[in-house]
Every structure is written in structure tokens, then in C-alpha cells.
DNA sequence: GACAATAACCTGTCATACAGGCTTTTTTCG
DNA sequence: CGAAAAAAGCCTGTATGACAGGTTATTGTC
């Protein structure tokens, strides 16, 4: 058996938590869709019989998680799926050293081996074009590492989008922040222009395999890409 | 040497967002670890030159994401990695029909094919025991579906933990909420006791493979398990 | 030196106030 | 009559002050 940290009784989870639950419950029970408006703060205040402070902190919390959208003067609305909260959790794990960059890469590899295969099977022509475009822009901006990185990130997100499973997109996008903070290290480790161009070639190979609709080949190239990336990070001493 | 009150031009992402960033920035720059205390609200109020309302909403937002822990009378502290925020994002996606249960299962399958293999390679004896224990408890509570479900969930989370990669644990645990809301449907679809026992046997096979340290076999059983689970959900008409 | 009383600080919640953004209604003018 | 402009009304963003109750540090006593 395992040790539980929660005491057996939790009488008051706090008014704010209660309010948060009431709001999410409202979304569920009313079957609200993205864009639909939520009750005003005043209405919630009356319904829950608490102060506006409490209701406001609840709304603000949901807004911070990007579950709802708030803006001045208008009512809050149900938000489209967004990676905001996940990104913050991952970043928090990294900055407090509870997870390592290498662990993130291991998860990315696992997921992207799947997204790339799905993309090869399910991509539309437009999505294939977007993926190819990102790879092409990496080469064209070769002399500008920052630009290469952004197109690299866009490349991976485009593949996730082409998997037609928004959960994959969510996760892959959540990792982009970590990538932004470590990408340059991997790039510098590829000391020669030749090594750097080879890395870009790897992306083009993946794009081609997706365009051809060959999931096995796409996954093979993706595996190779990740193995090299992780090796680059390890060479640079990233734990 | 630094911050004056009003930067001349900022499209104003809002004072609260600014405060949130200031707090996370503080965690980063001070290199805080889980359990370390953050500045008091009053201190933050002075430092950012905003009202306590703003600072409070920022703290509360971070608390809702489980990035910090708050409790009455004590200062907020840096939180241990927690799946709270991720769970809420996934649940939000499900309730607003932006993602389907089947899409979640596809992601789970992808991830757990990896965690089970890693668990077979890296599990400690204690972890192997915990995994086996969960499988055993599933069988022992056979007549109580709710209990079977909880041990099923614990089983998968234990495997993720045994992968020794907290990011996997984070994601697997984030999906547990969805499982709780759909598990019974799959269970009912297995109409006969025989079919239900076979499903439990599948878990025991996985546990055995992990105990034996055979990643390939473990992954094979896990694949089978997921294929049957997804089939059960599809038979029940889950989109 | 141990221990209890107390002071100081901190968070949780409430009430109120006001500036400014949106939306709807009313008014006015063509 | 119709359309544009003005006003009214609701809504959110932020600030301030107040007080209850929990937590920690200090002090004073034995």
C-alpha cells in the first residue's frame, strides 16, 4: 500500500474551488460549445451566494488555464482547446528540475513516431504542403538559426495537426516551449554546416514520406531525427 | 535600477497576466524548488505596484494550475508536479466535444505502449509488486465494477510510474478522469463474466511480462488490451 | 532552558467604488 | 420612415479598506 497525503476529511475545499467547479459544471450541464457565453460575474455571485471576489478568482483561474476567454466589457466565453495550461505545467516541471529535457524528448519521440505515421495516412494535400513548406523554409533561412528553429517547431506542430487527433496536437504544442529553450544547444552541437544541413535534410525526408503517404518510411526518418537530436543534446551535456 | 510603474507602450495583456509572469519568473530566477516559499501577496503588491486584487488573482490562477500551493495564513509555496491542470484541459476538451473519447484512447495506446516497455526494463521490484497487486485486486473485487475500475486506473498509473519518466506519469494520470467517465461502458459491453475475466487476465499478463522484464511481450499484451478496449467502446457507440 | 501567552504577519472573504469597454435602446435628423 | 447618432445600462478591470481566522515569531514567565 501507499502513503496518502490527504487527510481523511476535507470539509471546505475553499469557496473559490467550489465556484470553479460550479462554472465547469455549468458548461457541462448546459452543453456549451466554444464561443458560447457564460453567466456574468454578478449572476454567478447571486447564484452561489458569495462575493464577487470569489467568483472573479474562479473565472480568472479558468481563464489562466485557457478554458474560458475573458475580455473587458464582454462576458466570458467557452474557449477553444488551447495548450496554455499544459505548457505551463511542463515549463514548471523543467524550471523546478522535476523533469529533465531528455525525459521530454523521450515523450516527444514516442508521440511523434505516432503522429508522423498518422500524418502519412491521413494528411490532406494542404497539410502535406504546409509540412513541406516548413521544411523548405528551414533550408531557406539556413543562416538564421532563430528562424530555422521556428520553422522546425512549426514543422512538428503541422505534423501533429495532420494526424487529425487534437490531443496529439495539444501535447506536441505543449512541448514547443521546452524546444525553444534547448533548440539552439542542439544546433550549435552540429558544428559544421554539413551537419546542420544534414539535419534539415532529415526534415525534408520526413515531409517527403508524408507526402508519399508512406507511414513506415516517415516513422523511420522521424526515429532517426530524434535519435540524432537526443544525441546532440547529450553531447552538449543536457541532463 | 529597474521597473518603473508604467511601460510607455504595452498592448496590455492585463495586469494579472503580467503578475503571473512575474511570479513564474521569480521561481525561475531564484531557482526555487518544490516546497520553497514565495513572496507574500503584500510583497508582490509593492514590487509590482498594483493592488492586492491583481496579485491575488495571479496567485490564485497559479494555484488552480497546481503550480503553487496556497493555504490560509501561510505563504504560497512551489508545488510538486501535479496533473491537475492537464486533467482539466482534457476534460474540457471532452465536455465541449472538441476531442472524442476514441482520440484519447488512441493517445493512451501510443503512450502506454511505451510506458509498459520502459516499465519492463526499468521497474524496481517494488514497482513490479505494486503493478501485480493492482491486477490482483481487480480480480478479487470482480463483483464490484467500481472497485475494478479504480484498480484498473491504478494499474496503468503504476506502470507509468515504473517507466521512471514523470512526463509519462503526468499524461497518463491526466487521462484517468476520462477513463472514469467511460470505463463502465466498456465493462458493460463485455456482457459475459467470461469476457470480463478475460479482460482481467489481460492485465495479469501485462503485469507478468513486466515482472519478467520482457518489454516486447509486455507491449504485445498492452496492444491487445487496448485493441479490445477500443473495440468495446466502439461497440457501445462511443464516438 | 522549557513552555505558554502574545504580538505580528499572512491569507480568505466581503463590500464598495469608479473607470472604461460593449450592447442595446432611444432619440434625432435627413 | 429609416438610418445614424447619442444615451443608458450592463459588464469587466482595478483599487481600497475592513475584518475574521490561521500561522509563525517573539516575549515573558516559571
Q: Which parts of chain B have pLDDT scores under 70?
A: 1-12, 239
Alpha-carbon distance of B143 to A236, in angstroms, equals 55
Question: In this predicted structure, what is the pLDDT of residue B117?
Answer: 98
Alpha-carbon distance of A147 to A217, in angstroms, equals 27
Chain A residue with minimal CA distance to B87?
Answer: A86
A73 touches strand D (CB under 7 A): yes
Domains with residue ranges and CATH for chain B = 15-78 (1.10.10.10), 84-235 (1.20.120.530)
Assess B201–A contact: CB distance below 8 Å, yes or no.
no
Question: In this predicted structure, what is the pLDDT of residue B13?
Answer: 79
pLDDT digits (tens, 9 = 90+) for A127-177: 999 999 999 999 999 999 999 999 999 999 999 999 999 999 999 999 999
What residues does B37 pair with on adjacent strands? B77
pLDDT digits (tens, 9 = 90+) for A178-209: 999 999 988 888 878 888 889 999 999 999 99
Query: Going by DSSP bridges, is the β-strand pair A68-71/A74-78 parallel, antiparallel, or unpaired?
Result: antiparallel
Question: In this predicted structure, what is the pLDDT of residue A235?
Answer: 85
Q: Work out the minimum CA distance from A132 to partner chain B, whole angstroms.
A: 25
Assign A239 a pLDDT band (cuts: 50, 70, 90): low
Contacts for A8-15: CB closer than 8 Å, 24+ residues apart: A15/A48, A15/A50, A15/A54
Question: In this predicted structure, what is the pLDDT of residue B233?
Answer: 87
Question: In this predicted structure, what is the pLDDT of residue B7?
Answer: 39
Number of Cβ atoms within 10 Å of the Cβ of B192: 8
Query: Going by DSSP bridges, is the β-strand pair B68-71/A74-78 parallel, antiparallel, or unpaired?
Result: unpaired
C-alpha cell read off for A237: 551535456
Assess A23–B contact: CB distance below 8 Å, yes or no.
no
Residue A91 CA distance to nucleotide C30 C1' (Å): 61
Question: In this predicted structure, what is the pLDDT of residue A10?
Answer: 42
Residues 6 or more apart whose Cβ sits within 8 Å of residue B77: B34, B35, B36, B37, B38, B68, B69
Q: Which nucleotide is closest to B59, CA to C1'?
A: C11
- Tell me which residues from 71 to 110 on chain B have a beta carbon below 7 angstroms from nucleic acid strand D: 71-74
To which residue does cell 488555464 refer?
A65
Assign A63 a pLDDT band (cuts: 50, 70, 90): very high
**What is the length of chain B?**
239
The answer to whether A138 and A151 have CB atoms below 8 angstroms apart is yes
Q: Do B93 and A111 touch (CB under 8 A)?
A: no
Question: In this predicted structure, what is the pLDDT of residue B11?
Answer: 55
Share of chain A above pLDDT 70, in %: 95
Mean of the per-residue pLDDT values of chain A: 92
Residue A60 vs residues A54, A88, A239, B113, B129: alpha-carbon distances, Å: 10, 16, 36, 37, 43
Assign A11 a pLDDT band (cuts: 50, 70, 90): low
To which residue does cell 498509473 refer?
B157
C-alpha cell read off for B203: 492485465
Mean of the per-residue pLDDT values of chain B: 92
Q: Work out the minimum CA distance from B91 to partner chain A, whole angstroms.
A: 10
Q: Do A61 and B61 touch (CB under 8 A)?
A: yes
Task: Compute chain B's Rg from CA coordinates.
Answer: 23
Query: Going by DSSP bridges, is the β-strand pair A68-71/B74-78 parallel, antiparallel, or unpaired?
Result: unpaired
Residue A7 CA distance to nucleotide C30 C1' (Å): 74
Question: In this predicted structure, what is the pLDDT of residue B8?
Answer: 39
The enclosing H or E element of A74 equals strand A74-78
Question: In this predicted structure, what is the pLDDT of residue A189?
Answer: 85
pLDDT digits (tens, 9 = 90+) for B125-171: 999 999 999 999 999 999 999 999 999 999 999 999 999 999 999 99
CB proximity under 8 Å: B 133-152 to A: none
A41 touches strand D (CB under 7 A): yes
Residue B98 vs residues A48, A86, A118, A164, B130: alpha-carbon distances, Å: 28, 16, 19, 12, 35
Residues 6 or more apart whose Cβ sits within 8 Å of residue B115: B159, B160, B162, B163, B165, B168, B172
Alpha-carbon distance of A70 to A176, in angstroms, equals 25
What residues does B11 pair with on adjacent strands? none
Assess B126–A contact: CB distance below 8 Å, yes or no.
no
pLDDT digits (tens, 9 = 90+) for A18-52: 999 999 999 999 999 999 999 999 999 999 999 99
Amino acid at each position: 500500500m501507499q502513503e496518502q497525503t490527504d487527510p481523511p476529511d476535507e470539509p471546505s475545499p475553499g469557496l473559490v474551488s467550489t465556484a470553479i467547479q460550479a462554472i465547469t459544471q455549468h458548461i457541462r450541464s448546459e452543453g456549451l460549445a466554444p464561443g458560447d457565453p457564460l453567466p456574468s460575474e454578478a449572476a454567478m455571485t447571486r447564484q452561489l451566494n458569495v462575493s464577487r471576489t470569489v467568483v472573479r478568482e474562479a473565472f480568472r483561474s479558468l481563464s489562466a488555464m485557457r478554458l474560458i476567454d475573458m475580455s473587458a466589457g464582454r462576458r466570458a466565453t467557452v474557449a477553444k482547446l488551447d495548450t496554455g495550461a499544459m505548457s505551463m505545467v511542463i515549463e514548471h516541471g523543467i524550471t523546478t528540475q522535476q523533469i529533465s529535457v531528455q525525459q521530454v524528448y523521450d515523450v516527444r519521440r514516442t508521440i511523434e513516431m505516432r503522429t508522423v505515421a498518422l500524418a502519412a495516412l491521413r494528411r490532406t494535400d494542404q497539410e502535406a504542403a504546409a509540412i513541406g513548406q516548413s521544411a523548405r523554409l528551414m533550408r531557406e533561412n539556413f543562416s538564421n538559426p532563430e528562424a530555422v528553429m521556428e520553422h522546425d517547431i512549426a514543422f512538428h506542430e503541422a505534423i501533429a495537426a495532420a494526424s487529425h487527433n487534437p490531443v496529439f496536437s495539444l501535447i506536441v504544442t505543449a512541448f514547443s516551449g521546452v524546444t525553444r529553450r534547448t533548440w539552439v544547444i542542439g544546433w550549435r552541437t552540429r558544428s559544421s554546416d554539413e551537419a546542420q544541413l544534414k539535419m534539415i535534410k532529415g526534415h525534408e525526408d520526413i515531409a517527403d514520406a508524408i507526402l508519399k503517404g508512406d507511414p513506415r518510411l516517415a516513422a523511420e526518418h522521424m526515429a532517426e531525427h530524434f535519435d540524432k537530436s537526443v544525441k546532440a543534446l547529450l553531447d552538449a551535456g543536457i541532463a
